[in-house]
Amino acid sequence: MARRIVRTIMIERNDEISEKKGFFTGDYMLKTKRLGNYLQVAIPSNWENHAIEQILKEVWETPKKLLHQWRMDKTILLNGMQTALSTKVKENDELSLPIFTKGDYGVIPNKLQQAIQILYEDDHLIIVNKPARIATHPNGASDKTTLANGIANHLQEKGETCTVKHIHRLDQDTTGAILFAKHYFAGAILDKKLERREIKRIYVAAIHGKLTNKKGIIRTNIGRDRHHPTRRRVSPTGQTAITHFQLHQYNAKRNISTVLCWLETGRTHQIRVHFSSIGHPLVGDTLYGGKPIFHRQALHAQSIEFIHPITLEKLKVTAPFIDEMSYFYTE
C-alpha cells in the first residue's frame, strides 16, 4: 500500500499574491451566502457610494456579455429589490447576483475506480488532488474516465447541478492540486487570473543529476516536435517559456536532485522539457530522456495559491502525495 504523507517544502519566493482594482485592494474577505440561484454579498465600507456596475466591472471583471444580460433581464437585486446598475450602494446593503444557473455537467458523471481526494470545495470552485494515470478532462464525447467525469459524479451525488470547468491542466501522469470552477462567473474570473499569472502553482520534481546552481531560471522557448505527435522541444520559434527552480536536496547515492519549481508561463510539458534541455530530465520521464526507475514522470503539483474569485480571500491549498514519494524525498 502506498504511503499517504503530507509534506511541504518552503521555497524562497519574492512574488506575493496581490491585486489592485480601482477602489478594491484585496486585503479582506467578503461576507457572502447562497440563496437559491443568487449569491448575496454584504457591501463593505470601502464600496459605499460606488455604482453597482462599477463594482461588477472592477471587482469581478464581469464579462461584458453577462453584464449586458443582467442589465436587460433586470435580475440584479439590491436589498431584495430590482435595481438599476447605476444605483450607488451603501455599507451593509445586500447585493444579489444570479450566478448559480442550472445546467448539465458538461461531461458524463462517472464514479472512478480511485476515490477523488478533495482538498477544498465551496459553492464556486473545487480543488482536488489528481492521481496519476488519469487525464484532466475528456478528449471526446465518449470519454468518461477522466478527473472531470469523477468530479461531475461527486457533484451529482451531492445533488448539485453545475457545469464542471477545468481552469488549468496537469499531464496524465502528473499528480497534485488542480482547480475546477463550478459556475460560469467563477470560471470567467479564474481564467483571467490564470492569464495574468495570478494563480501561483508550486511543483516538486525529481531530476537526474546534481544541479550546479541551487536556484535559477530557465528561459527557453518551447514548440512542437514535428517528428513526434505529443512531444515538445526547445525551439527559437516556439512560445516563450520561463521556469523558476530551487534545489531542495541532492541524493548522491541515487544521483537524483529534488527541486521546487514555479512557472511564469504554462506551456505543455514545460517543466519536463526545460529540465531535459539542461541535461537533467525528470526521473521516470522516458519521453524526455529520463530513466524508467519510477512508474511515471516524478512531478507533483504541491500547492496552488490565489485570491478567491468571489469572496476575495487569499487561498493556499497544499496537496499531499498520493503515491510512492521515495524518489522525491529521502531522509
User: Which residues are tagged catalytic?
Assistant: 171
Q: Is 61 helix (H, G, I), strand (E, B) or coil?
A: coil
Q: Which of 201, 223, 216 is nearest to 315 (CA)?
A: 201
The whole-angstrom separation of Cα 296 and Cα 47 is: 50
Number of Cβ within 10 Å of residue 140's Cβ equals 6
Q: Give the three cell numbers for residue 195.
A: 492569464
Quote the cell numbers at residue 133: 494515470
DSSP string, 254-288: TTEEEEEEEESS--TTHHHHHHHHTT-PBTT-GGG
DSSP state of 41: E
Cell numbers linked to 193: 487570473
DSSP 102-139: ----SS-----SSPPEEEEE-SSEEEEEEPSS--SS-S
Q: Which three cell numbers stand for residue 149?
A: 467525469
Distance CA 328, CA 239 (A): 29
Instruction: Return the closest-CA partner of residue 91 out of 54, 127, 42, 133.
Output: 42
- In 3D, which of 126, 59, 78 has the Cα closest to residue 311? 59
